[in-house]
Amino acid sequence: MNDAEKLKSTLSAVFRRKGANGRYTRVFDDLDSRQQHSLSEKVRLNPDELAVIGSAESDETWFLLTTQRIVWHLRGRDETLSIQDVYHVKADFRKMMATGTNKGELRELQIETLNHSNLPVEVEAGAPLAGVWNALLNLTARNWQKK
Amino acid sequence: MIPIIPIRLRSLVWLWLTLLAVVLPQSLGLASIGKSDCKVVYDGQGFASTGYDGCSLRAFDYDSATVLTVDRGTDSTGHASALFEKSAEFLAAKGTTTLQPMADAAFQTGSIRTIAGYETAGNAGLVGNTYNVNLWGMYATDASQGPFAFVNALKAEASAAGANQISIAGLKVLNTDLLNISPKFAERLGLEFRQISSETILLQGEVH
């Protein structure tokens, strides 16, 4: 098993242990072929890059975590972030309270980068969000160790 | 001189007076005022209650049954029964029949703060000798000091508030790992773990 396969295995296990597959947010290999195809069309993987977790809600809102990057589309913009640049992943509790968004309805996470800018990502609410959140937190822990 | 009123009319007057005496105070949320069993209630620190006691103030002066307090000197079982007894009274006076789930109450009345490097959302308060912490949100920041430091910080808060028991409720839990905390790990934290439902956990123990 090479490094990419090990990372994929670890992040997939974290997703499954701390969250669960949803309707359109799943471990990439568990997405149906149409969803996999849709995300693969949007993100061209490098030869040594593996898709780990995908969220294929629509052409306007999608998300893909690979062994090298996080790529997503939200509010009309494509975003890409190296997994080495993820410093923290948070939920905005204040915004939730202000907007009356309870935890079960939460779809948005804030990725804080190493240069401390905040990037919003959206995935499926509930257990899928918990899985994505904890997989990303696993990456942050690795990056904190490197600091 | 007593006016002469036909018996049937007198009955009607008495009926109206009785109805006014019984129905009007209830409709104003005043049903308990003046009850002979009214007594001052105290919070866990021995201060007179500011919660709804069913006696001294109208239910409409309170926003939520979650402010209820209990009598001094009752044990934890007594606390619970007193709480629910007054809750029912409160809700009846408010004209509603359903209790608000704690997750909703903690969400609506809670605050956000950092404890031992964990960002938390929820509320906390003393009921008798127990410090109750209700958390609907929590995650580790880069300054996280670990679960032992987190629990110890809450126990220190509890101790400072005068509690000798602590009860930490995790509400709307999404992280399935948290739903399956091992009893041994909880024991190492000095707490007993119980899963209440598919999304609610409870950690309880003594405060030293």
ipTM exceeding 0.90, yes/no: no
Q: Is A88 on the interface with B (CB under 8 A)?
A: yes
How do beta strands B111-115 and A77-82 pair?
unpaired
For residue A103, give every residue at least 6 positions away whose Cβ sits within 8 Å of its Cβ, in sequence order, or none: A96, B103, B107, B136, B137, B172, B174
Q: Tell me the residue type at B188.
A: R
pLDDT tens per residue, range A82-127: 999 999 999 999 899 889 888 889 999 999 999 989 999 999 999 9
B174 with A90: Cβ contact below 8 A: no
pTM of the predicted model as reported, rounded to 2 decimal places? 0.66
DSSP codes joined into one string, B120-169: EEEEEEEETTEEEEEEEEEEE-TT---HHHHHHHHHHHHHHTT-SEEEEE
Rounded CA separation B174/A129 (Å): 8
Least confident of B55-69, B94-108, B151-165: B55-69
Ranges of H-type helices in chain A: 3-18, 33-42, 93-99, 127-146
Nearest CA in chain B to A99: B108
Q: Is B172 on the interface with A (CB under 8 A)?
A: yes
Rounded CA separation A74/B140 (Å): 26
Interface A-B: count of C-beta contacts within 8 A: 55
In contact, A123 and A132? CB cutoff 8 Å: yes
Handedness of CA A65, A71, A76, A77 (dihedral sign): positive
Instruction: Determine the residue among A97, A99, A132 to mutate to test chain B binding: the one whose Cβ has the most chain B Cβ atoms within 10 Å.
Output: A97
Determine the Cα angle at A98 with ends A78 and A75, to 5°: 15
